[in-house]
């Protein structure tokens, strides 16, 4: 790495990401974790607890908040870059200077072992790694990378600056936007789960002939499955991020900038709004509508519409404050039962006394 703190300020100050530099311009040799940093490194410090490590290990540059500026009084040799949002600064600075270098794999731009249909349209900057398969009428955008063993089936479209990781599948007629990431082993456009039963209880598949559309900047984690719609489109909006091991059923529509963590599972024909966040193992039933700005936690199970923004938990879900109160009561149920039984016994004894008198 060959950058300086002043260069970082010059790049990110116009965006408001870094507002001020305190200390001399210093060269940066790498971006490091605070716990293992050394002289010449750049670190990100968003908690006062980490300042002691900076004092001890003496990195060259610390990106920190205005609130923590005074904690660095004993670190005169450490240049500070002051940021309103340290975590966002970490994301964008590390993306620019220390993200994964895909070219380090050192494959030819289009590997000779890749299978590419004659009608597929690649740009001069598209990269196709070993044993990838590109189907009929596929369109791949500028600087898009299809990694080893990935499959893009016929009539699919993938935008620019998108990465499809090893062994992922983009199903036929599906669309992926720009700057998207499709994780290893993920399937976009798997067969939707639709069956009809006859009188003997045997199940007969209903062909799922729709597609999947992913907006720009969507991230699909490793081993996710996104089912194609029965007739129209399963849709995920721009900026939404799926963790590993999520399942999105057929005909689902998910809005923009959602954060859906591992083992999130949503059943068919459900609509989820913008900026919805979930913790691990959240489940959503079919034909449900969830409004914008909802947070689902503690393995929430959504079985009915949510039409008010807020935080929800439990099965079935309830507002988080109610859930916490009810959980506290639930923990005392055994004790409450014993107390109720004791009251009943006293009442019975009193009743028998009145009868005998």
What 204-210 contacts at long range (C-beta under 8 Å, 24+ apart), as own/partner pairs, is 206/230, 208/250, 210/234, 210/250, 210/251
Question: Are the beta carbons of 120 and 102 closer than 8 angstroms?
Answer: no
Helix residue ranges, H only, the chain? 5-12, 51-57, 86-98, 320-331, 333-356
Report the SS3 class of residue 309.
Answer: coil
Measure the N-to-C terminal CA separation of the chain; round to a whole number of Å.
96
Question: Are the beta carbons of 159 and 196 closer than 8 angstroms?
Answer: no
Measured over the CA atoms of residue 90, residue 92, residue 94 and residue 99, the dihedral's sign is: positive
Residue 202: what are its φ and ψ, rounded to 5°?
-80, 145
Contact partners, residue 79, CB within 8 Å, separation at least 6: 5, 21, 22, 23, 24, 25, 26, 60, 61, 62
The closest of 315, 319, 308 to 284, measured between CA atoms, is 315
Kindly name the residue from 71, 165, 247, 250 that is annotated as catalytic. Answer: 250
- Catalytic residue flag (residue 204): no
**271-272 and 277-278 beta bridge pairing:** unpaired
Query: Active-site positions?
Result: 250
């Amino acid at each position: 790495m060959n950058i300086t703190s002043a260069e970082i300020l010059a790049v990110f100050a116009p965006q408001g990401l870094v507002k001020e530099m305190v200390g001399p311009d210093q060269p940066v040799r790498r971006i490091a974790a605070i716990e293992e940093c050394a002289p010449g490194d750049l670190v990100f410090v968003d908690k006062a607890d980490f300042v002691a490590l900076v004092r001890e290990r003496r990195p060259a540059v610390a990106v920190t908040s205005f609130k923590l500026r005074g904690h660095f009084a004993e670190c005169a040799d450490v240049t500070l870059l002051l940021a309103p949002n340290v975590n966002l600064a970490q994301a964008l600075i590390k993306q620019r200077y220390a993200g994964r270098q895909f070219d380090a794999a050192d494959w030819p731009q289009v590997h000779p072992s890749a299978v590419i249909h004659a009608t597929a349209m690649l740009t001069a900057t598209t990269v196709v790694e070993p044993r990838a398969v590109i189907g009929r009428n596929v369109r791949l955008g500028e600087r898009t990378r299809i990694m080893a063993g990935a499959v893009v089936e016929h009539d699919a479209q993938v935008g620019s600056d998108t990465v499809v990781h090893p062994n992922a599948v983009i199903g036929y007629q599906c669309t992926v936007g720009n700057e998207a990431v499709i994780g290893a082993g993920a399937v976009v456009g798997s067969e939707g789960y639709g069956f009809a039963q006859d009188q003997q209880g045997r199940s007969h598949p209903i062909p799922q002939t729709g597609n999947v559309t992913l907006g720009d900047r969507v991230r699909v984690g490793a081993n996710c499955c996104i089912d194609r719609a029965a007739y129209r489109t399963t849709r995920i909006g721009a900026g939404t991020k799926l963790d590993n091991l999520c399942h999105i059923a057929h005909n689902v529509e998910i809005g923009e900038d959602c954060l859906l963590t591992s083992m999130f599972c949503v059943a068919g024909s459900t609509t989820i709004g913008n900026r919805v966040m979930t913790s691990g193992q959240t489940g959503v039933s079919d034909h449900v509508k969830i409004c914008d700005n909802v947070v689902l936690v503690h393995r929430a199970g959504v079985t009915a519409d949510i039409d008010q923004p807020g935080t929800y938990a439990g099965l079935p879900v309830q507002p988080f404050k109610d859930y916490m109160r009810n959980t506290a009561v639930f923990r005392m149920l055994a004790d409450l039962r014993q107390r109720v039984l004791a009251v009943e016994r006293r009442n019975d004894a009193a009743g028998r006394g009145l009868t005998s008198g």
